[in-house]
A and B are shown apart, each in its own frame.
Chain A
Amino acid sequence: MTVQLDARPPAAPTPGSRRRSSGRLTRLDTRYSPYLYIAPFFLLFAVFGVYPLAYTFWVSLHDWDLLGTDHPFVGAANYTQLLADADFWHAVVNTLGIFVISTVPQLLAALWLANLLNRGLRARTGWRMAVLVPNVTSTAAVAIVFGVLFGREFGMINWMLDLVGVDPVAWKSDRVASWVAISAMVDWRWTGYNALILLAAMQAIPRDLYESAAIDGANRVRQFWAITVPLLKPTIIFCVIISTIGGLQLFTEPRLFHSGTNPIRGGSLRESQTVTMYMFENAFAPHYNFGYGSAVAWLLFALIAIVAAVNVLVLRRMGGGSGPGPGKGAAR
């Protein structure tokens, strides 16, 4: 009975049914019940997604002391103040810097790794699982371990540099060095994850394309750039967008990379303070200015949208002319 209910196709009721009301109900059912089926997601999204978003915007229009009892409306004052805030733009540059030097090598490495995993390896599943292991470890643990590794005086990286005669690097108090250290953390964690996604897409590419390319005399490298990469474009775009969202929201790694007093600044000159850290610094300790912090959150939202759009446009343009169009289906 129940199976039949679920399997029933959304067909219109047969004309001339015995009772009109029953026909109308069935029509209502076919028209509206699909919306009911997908409603739970949107309901939950409204409660946990839209409402906080809207509330954050509402808060950002107020002078909202976290502990205070009255929150006067200030309109766009938080935004105008923020746009003139040098520390905010400093954090934006940090975030974009870390994003670029982590995401670009990460996706290239993931592509290369996926290509390797796509070959006939022994214990293939084992290798494929292994690349995901870093992603399973807790971000906090990773960040703390890397924070120790990159220590100025007691860190292992500087110790190894010393062995080969390189002067110790101030990983935490030099702006670019701290970006590199944090990017290393991000890459370590996410390269395998992206590699698996790209691998799944690679496996959907028909073998015969490679066979005919091989007959035409294309070597492995040529096959990779002429067949694999173009056909992976939708997946690469997906990876780029996911990495953009994650990269621009980077918080745990840089926050835990620094320890001691006020680590939320990401170093005494804000060397590696990301936008989310700046948001936290303002919304919570030590300023407790919730309105200002909310304004930072909204500008971050805008920033992510802009960067994601730019990424997609750039990727579309790359090799756009000869490409087989969106999706692998067009290639057949």
Chain B
Amino acid sequence: MAVFPRRRLAAVALAAATALLATAGCGGADEADGDGPVTLTVDVFGQFGYEQLYQEYMSAHPDVKIVERGAGTNLDEYSPKLTQWLAAGRGAGDVVAIEEGLMVEYKANPGNFVNLLDHGAADLKGNFLEWKWNAGLTADGKQLIGLGTDVGGIAICYRSDLFAKAGLPTERDEVSKLWPTWQDYIATGERFVAAKTGASFLDAATNTFNTILLQTAGNTTGYSYYDTSGNVVVDSNPAVRQAWDTTMDIIDSGLSGKYGSWSEEWVSAFKQSKFATIACPAWMTGVIESNAGPTAQGKWDIARVPGNGGNWGGSHLAVPKQSKHQAEAIELAKFLTSAKGQIGAFKAKGPLPSSPQALDDPAITGATNAYFTGAPVGAIFGTGAKSLKPVYMGPKNQAVRTEVENAVRTVELGQRNPGQGWTDAVANAKKAAAK
């Protein structure tokens, strides 16, 4: 009699233990060390244009297999994922892309990343524009978190077929002459709207706002939402106010199609030829091509940006400490950010190199883009790239930027008037910075 209960107890305990083990036993499947090929995961957002480079790298390194995640996702979806992976201590790729606006946040906790200076990266300093190199360094200059990939460089991409329909010049040099300043751009837009082509002049005011802001800030204060001592200066930085006022003029003139940037409507508007111009950092050309599709090839062209130059965007490649193949990942990051790698990415999807050698390379200076009616993209974006003035980004830049651009959007949608919008922008930006 006594035997059965004991055996039963044991059986129950065993069953419970098995169940727990089964639930705890998942994971760890990808830790295949040993002789098999090493799989390196690369996390990106938008369009980095690395596909060809992976092929090259894999044929030179038969022991390495590369998997890319995240192509086409926008930054707002990408950055929380990356942050969660870093906070959780697992899940991040072996090589991760970090956008300039988020670099400041990640730099505050450098322990999450491999110090590339410990792995011979110091020798590569000459391969990068000086400010781009510095942007990857921590405040004390002792740790290099990321190697630069691309920089912004801004132009205006436009639909020459819609311009023709509206009776405007279509040839890119003449189009550039239409708008030496943003006020001229608005005047051109008013002519376009008056021609009633059924399309809007531009996609959404938020992208244009950010373009004007970064251009103005680069040319004047050198900072946007935060000053260099880390104070929120949305309401006192004249660059922000100036960009705001110009954008309000654009909205007021009815130029915007109000297709919220990166939304499904935005993509549909590309496909249905619903707007004629878009603020166009170099990396945007790849986005336009994948959104508008092959049928719009030859209808797009590129003109210079109103005002004087400017820089929007650009990323770094970093190696998280949680990577199980740090050495291989560092090698891959070095390869992708080399002058050769940057040229390859530019040819594929258009992000402008941050390497002076690459910028001087005939492959860049002479580059044209068939999709954009053979526009000399290398000359358009590359000219002045080496003299770009960086804009300082504060610790909560992304959160603050979100609030200000949301305020722009509410005015664009007619939910707020410009005065209320500005009040919202200032108040919400301060609130976000304090969180």
Contacts and interface: CB of A to CB of B under 8 A. Distances in A.
Contact of B106 (A21, A67, A148, A284): A67
Interface string B364-405: 000000000000000000000000000000001011001001
A261 B261 contact: yes
A286 B399 CA distance: 5
B410 A268 contact: yes
Contact of B83 (A152, A263, A269, A288): A288
Contacts of B86: 67
A268 B404 CA distance: 10
Contacts, number: 129
Nearest to B206: A261
Nearest to A86: B431
Which residue, of A17, A260, A282, A287, has the highest number of chain B Cβ atoms within 10 A?
A260
A259 B5 contact: no
B1 interface: yes
Contacts of B295: none
Interface residues of A, number: 46
Interface residues of B, number: 54
Interface stretch (B57-65, B264-272, B348-356): B264-272
A265 B403 CA distance: 10
Given A268-B409, A286-B402, A287-B432, A43 B20 contact: yes
Which residue, of B2, B19, B268, has the highest number of chain A Cβ atoms within 10 A?
B2
Contacts of B265: 151-154, 259-260
Interface in A143-189: 147-148, 151-154, 170, 173
B111 interface: yes
A69 interface: yes
Given A268-B406, A286-B398, A29 B5 contact: yes
B415 interface: yes
Given A67-B108, A67-B109, A268 B415 contact: yes
Given A25-B6, A33-B5, A154 B272 contact: yes
Contacts of B105: 67, 288
A66 interface: yes
Interface in A14-65: 17, 19, 21-22, 25-26, 28-29, 33, 36-37, 39-40, 43-44
A260 B16 contact: no
Contact of B1 (A26, A147, A264, A265): A26
B74 to A, nearest CB: 7
Contact of B264 (A39, A40, A259): A259
B112 A67 contact: yes
B432 A286 contact: yes
Contacts of B196: none
Contact of A263 (B76, B87, B268, B407): B76
Nearest to B2: A22
A285 B79 contact: yes
A289 interface: yes
Which residue, of B112, B398, B413, has the highest number of chain A Cβ atoms within 10 A?
B413
B221 interface: no
A258 B263 CA distance: 8
A260 B263 contact: yes
A17 B2 CA distance: 11
B9 A36 contact: yes
Interface in A280-329: 282, 284-289, 292
A297 B400 CA distance: 24
Contact of B16 (A39, A69, A259, A292): A39
Nearest to B397: A286
A44 B80 CA distance: 29
A330 interface: no
Contact of B5 (A26, A261, A285): A26
Nearest to A28: B5
Contacts of B84: 66, 284
Interface string A69-89: 100000000000000000000
B2 A259 contact: no
A9 B137 CA distance: 73
Given A268-B413, A289-B435, A259 B263 contact: yes
A5 B76 contact: no
B262 interface: yes
A151 B265 CA distance: 7
B20 A285 contact: no
B298 interface: no
Given A154-B265, A261-B76, A67 B87 contact: yes
A80 to B, nearest CB: 15
A39 B19 CA distance: 12
A68 interface: yes
Contacts of B80: 284-286
24 contacts: A5-B8, A22-B1, A26-B2, A26-B5, A29-B8, A36-B12, A37-B12, A39-B16, A40-B16, A67-B83, A69-B111, A147-B264, A151-B268, A154-B269, A259-B262, A259-B263, A260-B262, A261-B260, A262-B76, A284-B80, A286-B402, A287-B396, A288-B83, A288-B105
Given A151-B265, A264-B76, 9 more contacts: A37-B12, A67-B83, A147-B264, A152-B258, A152-B265, A153-B265, A260-B265, A260-B266, A282-B435
Interface of A: 5, 17, 19, 21-22, 25-26, 28-29, 33, 36-37, 39-40, 43-44, 66-69, 147-148, 151-154, 170, 173, 258-265, 268-269, 282, 284-289, 292
Interface of B: 1-2, 4-6, 8-9, 12, 15-16, 19-20, 23, 74, 76, 79-80, 83-84, 86-87, 105-106, 108-109, 111-112, 206, 258-266, 268-269, 272, 274, 396, 398-399, 402, 405-407, 409-410, 413, 415, 432, 435
6 closest A-B pairs by CB: A260-B263, A285-B80, A286-B399, A260-B260, A29-B5, A22-B2
